[in-house]
C-alpha cells in the first residue's frame, strides 16, 4: 500500500530532469507471450464495461452516457468474438466517458481501484489483451496514487484520462504532480474525449460524441500546448482518439493566433507530429487524408471503439478503410498501424 504522505514528499523532490523510472513490464511478462504476430490488427481504442460500473453509473443518474440512448452490452466473450470476427490480434482495454467520475469525487478513487483491479484480472488471463488504467481526476493526489499503483504494481500499459474532469483540462498546473509521475515512467496517456462543461446548452439534445468529443480533444491539446505541459514533460507519450478530432484542421489557425498574442510555444504542427492518433470513428474517406497531411503515418494506430461502436459498425469502419485508403495516402494501413502500435507499446 502506498502511503500518501510519503508519496507527496517524494513527488515534492521530483524534477522532470531527474532519472526516469524504467517502464514497468511485469504484467506483460506475466501474461503468456503471444505467438509471432500474424498480421492482424492491434486495437488501442477498445472499451470494457464491467456490470458493477454500469450499475454505479445508472444509480448516479447517468442512464444515457453523453447523450447516447443506452449503455452498450459488454462481456469478455463478446469482446474476444469481435476481435476474432474483425481480424484483431490484440486489444488494449480502457474505460470510456464519463470515466470513474460519476458525480461524486469522493467515490471516484474507490471506483478507479475497482475498475483497474477488474481490468488487471481480466487481462492477466488473456494474452491478447492489455489495459489503460483509469484515474480519479480531478482529485490529483488520488490520481497519482492510482497511476503509480496501476503502472508499477498492476502492469497497466498506460493510463486513460478524459479530455476534462469536471472542467479541469489537462494543461492545468494543478496536475503537475501527476504529470511528473507519468513523465518519470515514460507513460502512455490515452486521452479520451468527454462532454465539455455546459454541453447541454449547445448540443441540441444530440449525443456529445457526434461533435463535442472532437472539439474537446482539440481544446485539451491546445491547453497542454499553451500552458507548457508538453514541453515540461516530454517523456509522456500522448495518444489522441478519433484521428485527433478537429485538431488537424485547426493547427494552422492555433499557430496564427499564438503568434498574434505573443505566446512562445512550439508550433502546433511540431506538437501534433510528436503525438499518436487512433483511427476510431469515421476516418474514411475524408478525415484520414487531412490527418496524414498534418502528421504523416508513423504515429497512426487502429482503434475500433467497441463496445460503444457496435460490431457491424466496426466491420463497416474496417471495410471503409480498406476501400478508401489509396496507397499514396497510407500504404497497407493494417500492417502500418500494427507496426506503429508495437513501437509505442512493445509486444502486446
> 83-141: per-residue pLDDT in tens?
999 999 999 999 999 999 999 888 999 999 999 999 999 999 899 999 999 999 999 99
Locate 176 and state its grid cell: 503537475
Partners of 239 in the beta sheet? Answer: 190, 276
Which stretches of the chain score pLDDT less than 70?
A: 1-39, 326-329
Residue 315 has a pLDDT of 97
- Cis before residue 30, ω within 30 degrees of 0? no
Residue 25 has a pLDDT of 37
- The reply to whether the predicted model has a pTM over 0.75 is yes
What does the angle CA 102 – CA 106 – CA 110 come to, to the nearest 5 degrees? 80
Q: Which long-range contacts (CB under 8 A, 24 or more apart) does 81-84 make?
A: 82/304, 82/306, 82/307, 82/311, 82/314, 83/43, 83/128
Locate 216 and state its grid cell: 474537446
Q: Which long-range contacts (CB under 8 A, 24 or more apart) does 56-62 make?
A: 56/102, 56/111, 57/98, 57/102, 60/102, 60/103, 60/104, 61/103, 62/98, 62/102, 62/103
pLDDT tens column, 217-237: 999 999 999 999 999 999 999
Instruction: Give the CATH number of domain 38-345.
Output: 3.20.20.140
Residue 245 has a pLDDT of 95
Residue 340 has a pLDDT of 97
Partners of 191 in the beta sheet? Answer: 161, 240
Residue 242 CA to its chain's centroid (Å): 10
Residue 329 has a pLDDT of 67
Burial of 106 (0-12, 13-18, 19+ CB in 10 A): exposed
Locate 112 and state its grid cell: 478507479
Amino acid at each position: 500500500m502506498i502511503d500518501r504522505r510519503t508519496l507527496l514528499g517524494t513527488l515534492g523532490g521530483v524534477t522532470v530532469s531527474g532519472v526516469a523510472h524504467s517502464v514497468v513490464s511485469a504484467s506483460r511478462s506475466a501474461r503468456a507471450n503471444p505467438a509471432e504476430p500474424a498480421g492482424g490488427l492491434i486495437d488501442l481504442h477498445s472499451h470494457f464495461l464491467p456490470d458493477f460500473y454500469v450499475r454505479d453509473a445508472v444509480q448516479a443518474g447517468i442512464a444515457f452516457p453523453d447523450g447516447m440512448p443506452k449503455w452498450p452490452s459488454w462481456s469478455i466473450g463478446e469482446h474476444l468474438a469481435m476481435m476474432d470476427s474483425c481480424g484483431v490480434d490484440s486489444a488494449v482495454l480502457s474505460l470510456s466517458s464519463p470515466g470513474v467520475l460519476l458525480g461524486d469525487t469522493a467515490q471516484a478513487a474507490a471506483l478507479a481501484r475497482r475498475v483497474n483491479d477488474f481490468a488487471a484480472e481480466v487481462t492477466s488471463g488473456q494474452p491478447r489483451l492489455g489495459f489503460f488504467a483509469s484515474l480519479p481526476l480531478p482529485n490529483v493526489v488520488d490520481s497519482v496514487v492510482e497511476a503509480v499503483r496501476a503502472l508499477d504494481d498492476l502492469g497497466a500499459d498506460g493510463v486513460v484520462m478524459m479530455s476534462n474532469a469536471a472542467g479541469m483540462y489537462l494543461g492545468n498546473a494543478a496536475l503537475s504532480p501527476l504529470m511528473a509521475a507519468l513523465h518519470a515512467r515514460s507513460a502512455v496517456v490515452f486521452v479520451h474525449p468527454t462532454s465539455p462543461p455546459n454541453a447541454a446548452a449547445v448540443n441540441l439534445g444530440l449525443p456529445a460524441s457526434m461533435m463535442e468529443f472532437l472539439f474537446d480533444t482539440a481544446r485539451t491539446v491546445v491547453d497542454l500546448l499553451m500552458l507548457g505541459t508538453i514541453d515540461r514533460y516530454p517523456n509522456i507519450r500522448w495518444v489522441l482518439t478519433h484521428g485527433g478530432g478537429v485538431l488537424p484542421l485547426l493547427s494552422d489557425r492555433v499557430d496564427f493566433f499564438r503568434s498574434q498574442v505573443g505566446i512562445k510555444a512550439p508550433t502546433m504542427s511540431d506538437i501534433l507530429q510528436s503525438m499518436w492518433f487512433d483511427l476510431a470513428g469515421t476516418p474514411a474517406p475524408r478525415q484520414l487524408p487531412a490527418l496524414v497531411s498534418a502528421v504523416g503515418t508513423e504515429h497512426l494506430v487502429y482503434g475500433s471503439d467497441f463496445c460503444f461502436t457496435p460490431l457491424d459498425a466496426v466491420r463497416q469502419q474496417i471495410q471503409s478503410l480498406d476501400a478508401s485508403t489509396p496507397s499514396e495516402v497510407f500504404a497497407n494501413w493494417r500492417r502500418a498501424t500494427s507496426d506503429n502500435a508495437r513501437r509505442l507499446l512493445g509486444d502486446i
